[in-house]
Amino acid sequence: MVSGRFLARRLGHGVVVVWAIVTVVFLLRYSTPGSVVTTIAPLDASPQLKAEIAKELSLHEPIYVQYAHYLGDLLRFDLGHSYVTNTPVRQLLASRLPQTLDLAIAATIVAITIAIPLGVVSATRRHTPTDYAATSFSLVGISTPNFWLGLVLVLVFAVGMGWFPVSGPARANGEVISAIDVLYAPQLAGRWLIHLTLPAVTLGTYFTALLTRLTRSGVLEELEEPYVRTLRSSGLPPVVIRYQHVLRNALVPVVTVLGLQLGTLIGGAVITERVFAWHGLGSLLIDAINDRDWMVVQGCLIVIGVGFVVINAVVDGIYAQLDPEVSIE
């Protein structure tokens, strides 16, 4: 079991990393070249107007005062307002997050359901055509840029076959729908799923390939262990040995690397959203950078950074469940 002390230490560590993340993000925004005022103010703005804008954003304050305000606002979950639309950043993020979560979770499900069986089969039937096929697939998979894969999938399955929509999230009455809406209105599930399929496969392919490679090498290593021979000699069926004993042990390093690679998943989501005109955090971030809307950029970076820390804490919890030594340590 996961001990309370382990959880407390993990939480403390998480808080420090979150603080560091928000500080780095603040410094990034602070060091933006060019004045924010020129971004916001109209071209023919009078000096008075510019001064007023600067005062409104408390840009005249010294850096430590701005930093203190920023931390204080963050504690109240106030992420400021967009420079461009003046919408609260928190509201923008809340409207975009469900879409990104849909995409990331769907991609993870695609990856896990394909990669783990594939990795185990590939390892237990080493040097057979099945293994070569799985190994080649995973090598090509980690070498393929997902923005290109997405476009090729669109070319074949949307433009060519016409099975899926070319881009964009599912909508009902003009509103973008996500998994939560589907829970309340199950009749939308079909439409939601058909829009989600190509983006999820696009984002999931790299992860599937990576996970297959990791599972294969993990299982291969475990199969060499003496306990496997003992289990085999005691007459346990190979399926039980493979999936109950070997896989469980082989998954320990897999989970670690997976936690570290989650950033890749989120980064991939950003670009996948771009390809499919997905209405998520990634599109919001890229648009905000193009518009020099640094408050929105800041909000996106904080959500992504903090999200990464939270997910990693969860991964560590799973890790501790799989390998009791970790939590006792």
Partner 1 sequence: MITPRTRRALRRTLRRQLLPKLGVVMFGLLVVGALCAPVLTPHDPTTQQLDEKLRPPIGFSGQTEQTSSQLVDGEVKTVTETTTVSATWTYPLGTDALGRDMLSRVLYGARTSLLVGILGTAVAAIIGVPTGLIAGYYGGRIDDALMRSGDVMLAFPSLVLAVALVGLFGTATVRIPDPWVVLGITPSMPSHVVLPGTVVLVVGLVNWVWLARIARGEAMGLANAPYVLAARSVGASDRYIIRHHVLPNALTPILVMATIQVATIVLLESALAFLGFTGTTLSWGFDVSQGRDLLSTAWWVTTIPGFAIVFAVFAVNLIGDWFRDALDPGIDAGGGGGP
Q: Which is nearer to partner 1, 49 or 271 (CB)?
A: 271
Identify the residue among 177, 214, 241, 247 touching partner 1 (CB under 8 A): 214
Using CA of residue 145, residue 311, residue 111, residue 195, what is the dihedral sign?
negative
Q: Which of residues 237-266 bind partner 1 (CB under 8 A)?
A: 253, 257, 260-261, 263-266
Length of the chain measured in residues:
329
Q: How far is the CB of 289 from partner 1 (least distance, A)?
A: 4
Q: How many residues bind partner 1 (CB under 8 A)?
A: 56
Question: Which residues are paired to 88 by β-bridges?
Answer: 81
- Considering only residues 90 to 129 of the shown chain, the ones binding partner 1 according to CB under 8 A are none
Of 71-79, 88-96, 185-193, 210-218, the segment contacting partner 1 by CB under 8 A is: 210-218
Calculate the CA 50 to chain-centre distance: 39
Tell me, what amino acid is at 145? Answer: P
Q: Of 77-85, 121-129, 203-211, 225-233, which segment contacts partner 1 by CB under 8 A?
A: 203-211
Please report, for residues 17, 70, 273, 300, the alpha-carbon distance to residue 199 in angstroms, rounded to integers and kept in the order given: 31, 35, 8, 20
Sole window of 225-233, 237-245, 294-302, 316-324 interacting with partner 1 (rule: CB under 8 A) = 294-302
Rule CB under 8 A: choose which of 2, 7, 21, 313 binds partner 1: 21
Q: Residues 150, 198: contact at Cβ < 8 Å?
A: yes
**Is residue 28 close enough to count as binding partner 1 by CB under 8 A?**
yes
Instruction: Confirm or reject binding of residue 130 to partner 1 (CB under 8 A).
Output: no
Nearer to partner 1, 53 or 258 (CB): 258
Least distance in Å: CB of 182 to partner 1? 27
CB of 99 to partner 1, least distance (A): 16
In terms of Cβ atoms closer than 10 Å to its own Cβ (0-12, 13-18, 19+), residue 78 is middle
Binding residue for partner 1 (CB under 8 A) from 32, 58, 230, 244? 32
Q: How far is the CB of 304 from partner 1 (least distance, A)?
A: 6
Q: Are the beta carbons of 86 and 295 closer than 8 angstroms?
A: no
Kindly state the DSSP code that residue 172 receives in the 8-state scheme.
Answer: E
Binding of partner 1 by 15 (CB under 8 A) = no
Q: Which is nearer to partner 1, 172 or 306 (CB)?
A: 306
Residue (of 140, 200, 190, 148) closest to 170 by Cα position: 190
Q: Is 140 in the site for partner 1 (CB under 8 A)?
A: yes
For 149-188, letters b (16+ CB in 10 Å) and e give bbbebbeebbeeeeebbeeebbeeeeebbbeebbeeeeeb
- Structure letter (DSSP) for residue 159: I
Whether the CB-CB separation of 45 and 36 falls below 8 Å is answered with no
Q: Tell me how far CA of residue 200 lies from CA of 108, 172, 189, 265, 325, in angstroms.
A: 8, 20, 15, 11, 35
144 part of the interface to partner 1, by CB under 8 A: yes
Which residues here bind partner 1, judged by CB under 8 A?
16-17, 20-21, 24, 28, 31-33, 139-140, 142-148, 151-152, 154-155, 159, 206, 209-210, 213-214, 216-217, 253, 257, 260-261, 263-268, 270-271, 274, 285-286, 289-290, 292, 297, 300-301, 304-306, 308-309
